[in-house]
Structure 1
Amino acid sequence: MENLSAEETHPYFFKPDQNINRRQYKRVVPMQVLSLGMSRTGTASMKAALHILGYGDVYHGTDVYSNIQDCDMWIPALQAKYFGKGKPFGRAEFDKLLGHCAAITDGPANCFGPELIDAYPDAKVVLVKRDYDAWLKSFDGIIEGAYSWKFKLLGYTDPGWMGKVQRVIDVWLPGQFKASTAEECRANARAVYEKHYAEARRITPQGRLLEYRLGDGWEPLCKFLGKKVPDVPFPKINESSMLKRQLEIVAMKTLKRSLRNIGLVASTLAISGVFIYWLTTSFSNQQ
């Protein structure tokens, strides 16, 4: 993996934006698996595992980078859920936004556990959990970066791309964590974490729920989903390393767009290198 190029490890950052307006779409494959564990509980590994098991498109938070218009639906969905603005999303809306996917994992989709469980009564629910302290140590890097002025500056100078990602996060974290600062987000994290899992257990009908830890391997997951155990190791993706590399790529793309937007040209690698270091220090404490 370390010898692969950035284009090979993160192809969705380098392909042209799909420029798909999901509002015009409909479901084309049945929703089969809802992996509703909190972000930073191995969601990238679960995406890879579900893909190996044949579920085709598995929606993950990084998918917005290949179709930035997805943000235009996630933002009102989050505003309706957490702030009572607009119409709450139900089956009709999720069939448009997620209609190309047979499974989901990671945020923002995992914020809508109750809505998705209700919308897709035939879908199996997988709840991936990790030790709370380990989770918070990992998730804290997202908290720190999301509330930093650096991130907000990028959104301001690149409103058509990074600005949309920022607006998703600006609704998601204050909404789910009831927090206007990083400190408030950390203070509320345990209650949010425990509520998330308790609610999923409470509302999922018997027989539809698997509580899973990534170290459990293929067997319990395949038994639950009715799939044959693959003859390959269960994916183990280091999400911290992955996110750090993603941030470097995002920083480079955002730098180019931002400088173009304000009428400048990035002419040296030195400028890019300083910018990448400057941005990724906001996330340097992720584990």
Structure 2
Amino acid sequence: MAAKHPEMYMEDPNLHRCKSGRVVPMQVLSLGMPRTGTASMKEALQILGYNDCYHFFDLFSNIQDCDMWMAAHTAKFDGQGKFGRAEWDKLLGHCMAITDAPGCSFGPELIEAYPEAKVILVERDIEAWYKSFSIIIDVIFNPAFSIGRLVASLDPFWAGRVQGLQRRWMADVLNATTLETAHAAARDRYRAHSAEVRKITPKDRLLEYELGSGWEPLCNFLGKEVPNVPFPRINEAAALRERMGGG
């Protein structure tokens, strides 16, 4: 019987991205917050030929990536070290597109690093988004999901790295270190994030995409023909619970 999430059972290739470089052009930055259909957008962009499209779930197939993402957080939020175009090319040099966290929290840096890339901001009804995003908060902070944290403590190399990056993302992006503060900050941070992307992106490079709009607005923006397949719809919530020990 095939594994439900095969990337969790593959042998880690142990790729140290710091030794890599850009091999394909970065063409699309999808900078919407997590839980705005980012897994579906990843699949859609890859159907359109943007291979690879980096998503949070890609961490599971090369856990060493967590280290460079942590370095990016340290550079941006602590002012320690440097993370510019050269570093992004090492971490994301194999990718033509990116979506989801942790990349979405580096909108200004990625837009500056890749001025030729087009930018997508996926919008979702804020209450529907909050209900969905609450799953991430619960997975990271809620005692009901303590099994995941136990696994992380017993496996610092793999699960510990992923959960460490998740908590760092919450602390930096939501200024949250507890279940309560994360829930309290979520809606305001969603609004602020969307406003920032709109403000810093040149209008001719930005598509404000409403979740559920299908292929046409995306393909028109990217100059691609509409594929003869349905627009992907991936249930990220169930996948995230399973990956991070929530059921």
Aligned residue for 2:117? Answer: 123
The one-letter amino acid paired with 1:47 is: K
Cα distance in 1, alignment partners of residues 177 and 238 from structure 2? 27
1:107 correspondence with 2:111 = no
CA–CA separation in structure 1 for the residues paired with 2:242 and 2:140: 17
Structure 2: which 5+ runs fail to align?
A: none
Cα deviations across residues 106-153 of structure 1 (Å, max 9, x unaligned)?
100111011000000000001001011111111111111212452433
Q: Secondary structure at the match of 1:78?
A: helix
TM-score by length of structure 2 reads 0.94
SS in structure 2 at match of 1:216 = coil
Contact 2:74 2:81 in 1 (8 A): no
Query: What letter corresponds to residue 122 of structure 2 in structure 1?
Result: V
Aligned to 1:156: 153
Equivalent residue number for residue 226 of structure 1: 223
Contact 1:117 1:204 in 2 (8 A): yes
1:12 pairs with one of 7, 14, 19: 7
Contact 2:167 2:177 in 1 (8 A): no
How far, CA to CA, are the matches of 2:151 and 2:70 in structure 1?
Answer: 18
Q: Give the total of aligned pairs.
A: 244
List aligned pairs for 1:64-83, cutoff 5 A: 64-83=59-78
| CA distances 1:143-198 after superposition (whole Å, capped 9, x unpaired) | 11212452433221111100111110121101111112111111111221111110
**TM-score, normalised by the number of residues in structure 1:** 0.82
Could you tell me how far apart the structure 2 residues matched to 1:89 and 1:111 are?
14
Contact 2:135 2:237 in 1 (8 A): no
Equivalent residues in 2 for 1:164-183 (5 A)?
164-183=161-180
Candidates 128, 132, 137, aligned match of 2:131: 137
CA change 1:122–1:87 in 2 (3 A) is same
Structure 2 residue identity aligned to 1:140 = S
Post-superposition offset of 1:6: 5.0
Give yes or no for contact 1:79–1:171 (8 Å, CA) kept in 2. Answer: no
Q: What is the correspondence of 1:248-287 to structure 2 with a 5 Å cutoff? A: 251=245, 279-280=246-247
Distance 1:88 1:137, change over 3 A: farther
Q: Distance in 2 between matches of 1:176 and 1:242?
A: 23
Counterparts of 1:6 and 1:200 in 2: how far apart (Å)?
40
List alignment gaps of at least 5 residues for structure 1: 252-278, 281-287
Q: Percent of aligned positions with the same letter in both sequences?
A: 57
Q: Deviations over 1:34-90 (max 9, x none)?
A: 000100100010000001001111000000100000001111211222233x22421
- The SS at the match of 1:40 is coil
CA distance in 1, matches of 2:227, 2:117: 21
The farther-off stretch of 24-33 and 72-81 is 72-81
Q: Quick check: 2:107–2:197 contact (8 Å CA) kept in 1?
A: yes
Q: Distance in 1 between matches of 2:13 and 2:206?
A: 34
1:23 aligned residue: 18
Query: Using the alignment, how far apart are the partners of 2:138 and 2:2 within structure 1?
Result: 25
Say if 1:119 and 1:40 are closer, same or farther in 2 by CA, change over 3 A.
same
Letter in 1 for 2:198: R
Which 4+ runs in 1 deviate beyond 3 A?
A: 244-247
The residue that corresponds to 1:217 in the other structure is 214
The match for 1:38 among 33, 36, 40 is: 33
